[in-house]
A and B are shown apart, each in its own frame.
Chain A
Amino acid sequence: MELEQLLHKHFGYSSFRPGQKEVIEALLQEQDVIALLPTGMGKSLCYQLPAYTLEKPVLIVSPLLSLMQDQVEELKRFGEKRVVALNSFLSLTEKRYVLHFLEQYRFIFTSPEMLLQQQVQEKLAQMKLGLIVVDEAHCISQWGFDFRPDYLRIGDWLSRENRPPILALSATATKKVVRDIRETLSLKAPFEFMYNVDRPNIHLGRVVVEDKADKARWLMHHVTETAGPGILYVSSRKRAQQYSEALLQEGVRVAAYHAGYGVEDRQFIQQQFIAGELDWIVATNAFGMGINKLDIRQVIHESMPANIANYMQEIGRAGRDGHSALAILLYAEGDEELAKFVVTGDLPTLHHVDRYQELLSQQIQPIQMLKNGELSETAFRVLDYWLQRESSEQVKVRLNHLALEKYNAVNEMLQIIQTKDCIREHLVGYFGQKLQKKPENCCENCGIHYDVIKKVRLKEKKKVEMATWESRLQQLLMGN
């Protein structure tokens, strides 16, 4: 069967997105591949589709449990039943069951730590895999922001004889990171595909304001006067709440979105946004994963992103339909200090190092810290990995070093904001690419005619009214 036919049969799409076909063809010729594709541009299809011609299980190593869950759900939505997540959420009985029947699954998702367990390795050694996927491969690199130590160790396991081709996937990677990926995974002359990071239909605005109050004034005015749909990224849950309340007062159809909401509430907001019942989402960076809305016209950053990669990913949610969209980054002097505070908030602290040792001395599993919510999943893994190998003192030095790297990333972002040259050129160059052509209304420094891009907000858009319970029930079940 032709690849296009397979695509239609299993996923209902009629054509490939840029890069997908090249990547898949290389894999089917048993070539290793490094594919850099942004989130939402069909990264996962690169391994999903081959699975249907390979007739052998595809193993996907994925670093974040929540992400893994998303991908499993996505496949189930396409009607795939032979999919399993082999991770630490499984009970002992479930794990035994899954391991026993492992070769019968088409998609096996697992985490790096699981892959390091002996029984898992033994089972996999007996199986014939069709493809190994390393998702979020930038986590391998010490240069990445999300360095995941366990990824280093799977390199050894992957370098064994007779392995199937490896597909390393990432949304964002600099040249340095790509080299790390290639070396750590011992890829053999991999085919490299990198999407064009430039999105010519997104105009890159930057607005410098005096202070916090000035910022708030600008934002309130801008959002009430211009048309969405748009996302306003803010730095904290509290800020998200405040802005959404203030904008609601002004009659804007808006909702806050952050990880503090329940799963249902978050899904409701996404659905409302997609259905056009909301014009704006005020979000922390928790928003975006898996959102598939093509006509987002504006992405505004109220505060500085943690790094350039995050910034690109967040503004990249605008204008997926190819039409003009606007990205505006607000900046007030000193914003970088807040950004630095926020980015290091995710790191384990020196206190966590001591606490880890304290638990150990009380013969309590340190993972209890994670269960108590004392630190984030990523933070715990970094802590756990290093403390199993090095002394507390060495780890503390390492943590300080990590903090410094995060500071550097913020500073790189700051350069983008402060540059007097073309912002687009600067951004694209960061990813090791060369800008082919400057679009009209390119960026703040090249000049943007805002009045051409911005659309005036239509104020008659009314809030959705509640229906009576009788008609809501009728609609839900009978569709009318």
Chain B
Amino acid sequence: MFHQILLQIFQKLNKERTISAAYHVLRGKRSGQTIQDIGLFQLHQYFGLLPKLSRTTFDEAVNLFMQNSWLNVQESGHFYMETLGLQRAQQTPTFFFDGWHYRGNEHVFFARLSLIVQSLSHQAAAVRTFSPISRDTMIQAWVRTFLQAHHYKEGHLQQQLLTECNHVLTILPVSDASKQLVLYRLSGYQLPGWTWQQLADERKETVLDSQLAFIETLHILLNEVHQKIDDYPLLGHVAEGLKVKILLTDSAKQTAQLYEQGYSMEQIVQMRKLKQSTIEDHFVELAMYEPNFSIGPFVSYDEAQKVWQASKQYQTKKLKILHEALNDMSYFQLRLVLAKGEV
């Protein structure tokens, strides 16, 4: 699965970026460049899937791709995909990750759910003391509040949660093996969970692939819960606050607020004591993710049209090439136009 995901990302970034761009996407790097790449190349689903991915693991995969003649990487890190690689990428299945909206929060969801299930399982067995599966005091406090809010002491919460979980898992369009995977990461009274290694051995794949299958299932589940929130009073509560709504980085958000208050770009640079280029990154981010943001004050309509024509003519979104073709426009203007998308 990891290799298939990488192939898909490389395919989308083909000839346009360095291989590191893919690494940053998977790690969910919050830099202006990566955020823009997400929008430009439609990489939303892969964003931040593996925040702890080591460079070694990533490079090993890249080396393998090169050995297989799927990928050609230049010394600068820029790459293109060989015919074989493109074919391979075509054969990969469609994945249903939603990294952009969850950004690792699926693990918070699961930590909450694990502790809830563990508590309810022990309660059902009338065992009062156990060692909590999550040591995170935030999670523990959250779960305590959850259990009280749903009157767990009355002893009906188990049945209610069972009904909801059964319902959502039954209609979820994923394989039984994936559902089993999720269930075996949960534990309860005299029911230990399985380690990643044990699950991966059982599924005859790598630990990383099992973890990805797990994440995908959780994303699909979370989206189902969010879409029909009324059908899932309990799971909806567990998922509360975990879907990212405002898609700007924190810093870009601050810039946006100042801009809305009427400050000019130069003033914002002064006020925030940041580099001009950083503030420009924020504006590009705004152009990409804030539908109401107008690039009019920075670029004329004619100029924007020229950019799109050039992009089509040269078949690229590479700034350097476009800048050569349209040398009276700044890089910042070009990026704004590309970010905003064709009108």
Interface contact A472-B183, CB-CB below 8 Å: yes
Interface contact A477-B180, CB-CB below 8 Å: no
> Which chain B residues border A468 with CB–CB below 8 Å?
176, 180
Given contacts A73-B132, A474-B162, A479-B124, contact A469 B192 (CB under 8 A): no
Q: Give the number of residues in B that approach A within 8 Å (Cβ atoms).
A: 42
Interface contact A473-B159, CB-CB below 8 Å: no
Q: Give the number of residues in A that approach B within 8 Å (Cβ atoms).
A: 32
Task: Kindly state whether residue B223 has any CB partner on chain A within 8 Å.
Answer: no
Give 10 closest A-B pairs by Cβ, nearest first. A271-B192, A469-B179, A265-B195, A472-B183, A77-B129, A476-B188, A268-B193, A477-B162, A477-B158, A272-B192
Given contacts A475-B188, A478-B124, contact A469 B135 (CB under 8 A): no
In the assembled complex, the Cα of A469 lies from the Cα of B172 at a distance in Å of 13
In the assembled complex, the Cα of A126 lies from the Cα of B198 at a distance in Å of 53
Interface contact B166-A473, CB-CB below 8 Å: yes
Task: Kindly state whether residue A261 has any CB partner on chain B within 8 Å.
Answer: yes
Task: Kindly state whether residue B130 has any CB partner on chain A within 8 Å.
Answer: yes
Interface contact B135-A263, CB-CB below 8 Å: yes
Given contacts A264-B193, A268-B193, A479-B121, contact A79 B133 (CB under 8 A): no
> Which chain A residues border B125 with CB–CB below 8 Å?
479
> Which chain B residues border A27 with CB–CB below 8 Å?
none
Interface contact A477-B202, CB-CB below 8 Å: no
Given contacts A477-B120, A477-B161, contact A267 B180 (CB under 8 A): no
In the assembled complex, the Cα of A468 lies from the Cα of B176 at a distance in Å of 8
Interface contact A268-B166, CB-CB below 8 Å: no
Given contacts A256-B197, A469-B176, contact A268 B121 (CB under 8 A): no
Interface contact B180-A264, CB-CB below 8 Å: no
**Which of A265, A277, A470 makes the CB contact (< 8 A) with B166?**
A470
Task: Kindly state whether residue B189 has any CB partner on chain A within 8 Å.
Answer: yes
Beta-carbon contacts under 8 Å, A253-287 to B: 255-256, 261-265, 267-269, 271-272, 275, 277
Q: Show the binding face of B for A, using Cβ within 8 Å.
A: 114, 117, 120-121, 124-125, 128-133, 135, 158-159, 161-162, 165-166, 169, 176, 179-180, 182-198, 201-202
Interface contact A478-B202, CB-CB below 8 Å: no
Interface contact A261-B162, CB-CB below 8 Å: no
In the assembled complex, the Cα of A472 lies from the Cα of B176 at a distance in Å of 12
Name the residue of chain A whose CB is nearest to the CB of B162. A477
Interface contact B176-A275, CB-CB below 8 Å: no
> Which chain A residues border B189 with CB–CB below 8 Å?
479
Interface contact B180-A476, CB-CB below 8 Å: no
Given contacts A73-B135, A271-B192, contact A255 B117 (CB under 8 A): no
Interface contact B197-A255, CB-CB below 8 Å: yes
Task: Kindly state whether residue A69 has any CB partner on chain B within 8 Å.
Answer: yes
Task: Kindly state whether residue A466 has any CB partner on chain B within 8 Å.
Answer: yes
Interface contact B187-A271, CB-CB below 8 Å: yes
Interface contact B183-A469, CB-CB below 8 Å: yes
> Which chain A residues border B196 with CB–CB below 8 Å?
262, 265
